[in-house]
Amino acid sequence: MSLPEGALRSLVYSSEAVTRFYQDDLDQLLVQARQHNQSVDITGILLYKNDQFIQFLEGPPEAVDALMETIRRDVRHTNVRILIDELTLERQFDEWTMGYHPMKNQTSAALPGFRDSFADIAESPDALTTGRAAKELALWFRVRAAKRNEVAA
């Protein structure tokens, strides 16, 4: 089966950190991810809270497939679960080789749309509900980033 011209793969997965990631660990991970993702035309975001990751990836199908193989073999996390895997013609995160927003416990509860954890998304057996929740989380991230950019301008 051939893909439509310009088709991108949009994939969202969740996983659990084997050990806690501190800010320095996340910074190092983000530098590596951004360099690699830029070289293979992948964009997306990484969310981390309470030892749980949710990552949104989008890009050429072959590049996303190869990256997912690397991610599955990464010993820093476990229980990798695909939440969304679909083709799209439009990127949601076209400006981010790997967007990230720290979720600090002391201020997070005051944020509109605050999530205490990702457990409801990562562990739900209902694929439709999981997909919808993950897409809402992506929208929340994009809106928050746009508001931060407006304030900075």
Compute the residue count for the chain: 153
pTM of the predicted protein model: 0.71
DSSP 3: P
Kindly tell me if the per-residue pLDDT of 101 is higher than 90: no
* CATH number attached to the domain at 8-152: 3.30.70.100
What mean pLDDT comes out for the span 43-52?
A: 86
The model's confidence at residue 41, banded by pLDDT at 50, 70 and 90, is very high
Q: Which residues of 115-153 are buried (b: 16+ CB within 10 A; e: fewer)?
A: beebeebbebeeeeebbebbbebbebbbeebeeeeeeee
pLDDT for the residue numbered 17: 93
Name residue, tokens 């190869």. 66
Q: Which residues of 41-50 are buried (b: 16+ CB within 10 A; e: fewer)?
A: ebbbbbbbbe
Q: Where are the domains of the chain?
A: 8-152
The model's confidence at residue 106, banded by pLDDT at 50, 70 and 90, is very low
pLDDT for the residue numbered 16: 92
Kindly tell me if the per-residue pLDDT of 66 is higher than 90: yes
